[in-house]
Each structure stands twice: as structure tokens, then as C-alpha cells.
Structure 1
């Protein structure tokens, strides 16, 4: 069984069982992690912004140009910011650690 470790906006860590071939955004949404995914993965909204744990940043496929452009539109970024709609789950990502983004107040 593969697992994703998700730190929510309150700092609580959840272990989710992913589905092979699904977008990370879909997995987070279906587990009720507060993931909107408004555009459904079309790289049009950035509502699925997450932060990869630094140890995983180089293990996930790099972002395409359209993802980088959409991330650049956000008011704040982290070094390992990504759009979860652009990460397709595979068993090679077993143990992936991410943080859900909480906008600064």
C-alpha cells in the first residue's frame, strides 16, 4: 500500500492511500483535505497549490512551463511550490510528503 503524508493548514499530518494514475489534486479532494481544484487540472486557477517536502522536490517530475507561469501569478510562493493537479500519482512516489498551503494573514 502506497501512502502520501499530508500536513494540513493546522499542522496536522494525515496519511492518505493514493490511487495509481490519479492527479494528486483529485486524491486530496476526495479525502476531504480542502482541495478545491476549481479548474479540474487545466492549470487555470492554482487553487491546488501545495508545497513539496524538500527531500521530494527532485523525485517528482519537474513542472512544465504552464505550471511555472501559473505559480508565478500567486501572491506568495515557497521554493518547492507546485500545483497538485500536475502531479500524477505512481508507486515511485510512495511516502511523498507535502504541505497544504495556508495563505498568510
Structure 2
């Protein structure tokens, strides 16, 4: 079971827990504001864009090539950007903090 902390665009803090699926799916199931997942998790819309806390980057890993290309077109992307649909929920990411990106 992984516990994930989301910081919304209003600076509200939400903690959610899950054991499978993607972080985007978990966020949508728990009504995290600003995470929409319009494409259903196929890495084509960036409506699940988050900023990973710098200390947690090693836990979530690097962007995939398609994800990188999509984020390169996003004005709000930083070196800590990830699409939450591309992060799998597992014990390995327990305790991470993600800030929901502005659009």
C-alpha cells in the first residue's frame, strides 16, 4: 500500500492510499482537484500533470519518451514534471509528495 500526498493548486493537502493502478487513476478515484485524466491514462493529454517533490524523483523514475515529448510542449513543465498516468502505484512510491500543476 502506498500513501501519496497531493498538494492542490489551492495549496490544500490531500493524502490518498492505493495498492495498484496508476497515480492518475488513484487521484481521479479520490477526487483530487486538478487531476482529470481526460485521455484515460494513455499519455496523450497532460491533464494529470504533477510536480514531484525533488527528494522523491528517484522513487518515480524518469519520464518516458512520449511523456517527455508531451511535457516539452507544456509551459508549466519543470525538471520535476511527470504525468501521473505514467507513475504506477506500488510500495516503491510510498510517501511521495506531488503538487498538482497549473494549466
What's the CA shift for 1:51? 0.4
CA distance in 2, matches of 1:38, 1:2: 24
Deviation at 1:2, TM superposition (A): 3.1
Larger Cα-atom Rg: 1
Q: Which residue of 2 aligns with 1:79?
A: 79
Cα deviation for residue 60 of structure 1 reads 1.2
Identify the residue that residue 6 of structure 1 maps to in structure 2: 6
| Structure 1 vs Structure 2 CA RMSD | 1.2
1:22 is aligned to 21
What is the TM-score of this pair, normalised by structure 1?
0.90
Please state how far the C-alpha of 1:102 moved relative to its aligned partner: 2.0
How far did 1:14 drift? 1.2
Instruction: Name the residue aligned to 1:44.
Output: 44
User: Any idea what SS the aligned residue of 1:99 has?
Assistant: strand
Three-state SS of the structure 2 residue aligned to 1:17 is strand
**After TM superposition, where is structure 1 displaced by more than 3 Å over at least 4 residues in a row?**
none
Q: How far apart in 1 are the matches of 2:99 and 2:60? A: 15
C-alpha distance in 2 between matches for 1:60 and 1:75:
22
More helix by share: 2
Structure 1, gaps ≥5 residues long:
none
Structure 2 residues not aligned, in runs of 5+: none
TM-score (norm 2): 0.91
Equivalences, count: 102
Q: CA deviation at 1:76?
A: 2.2
- CA deviation map 1:32-85 (0-9, x unaligned): 113210111111111110000000012212211000001011122122000000
